[in-house]
Structure 1
């Protein structure tokens, strides 16, 4: 399996971010080919030190190649382009193969 993790930094308007993310971005991102599972954090992002992270999205794919293919599709490009419409605090994206241990 492989993971695409997006760390959304605290936006300028949290309520607007949350509403837009739920109503617009999630439906777009769920259309990306190859997505097997889509999870988001709920509540506060806890850490020993302040993170500045408002929300974590974790999308599971079959492989890193599947992530890359999904992001390269028209649906992946639309989801990526949409981030600028709501992520006013910025976002970091991490992609990696994973294994269960």
Structure 2
């Protein structure tokens, strides 16, 4: 029974943090790596799926930063960015009329 639960949880994929429940979801693949982005109001959360070698982390982090405007049309506020190459959270500013 324990193995069944582990298998089910492993199949769930990226899930938002509780603050992001109900957020708009974006899924994309960049350079063969999968990412999921959640946007809710003026907050975003970017999650990298899969394993990454330590030397890849700086490039992955830069990719995650670049994904926010590409997928949402909003600019990330750099001073609000928290997290690492596995999951990053921050605030965004969006063009007037877009939320």
TM-score with structure 2 setting the length: 0.32
Q: Higher RCO, 1 or 2 (CA under 8 Å, sep at least 6)?
A: 1
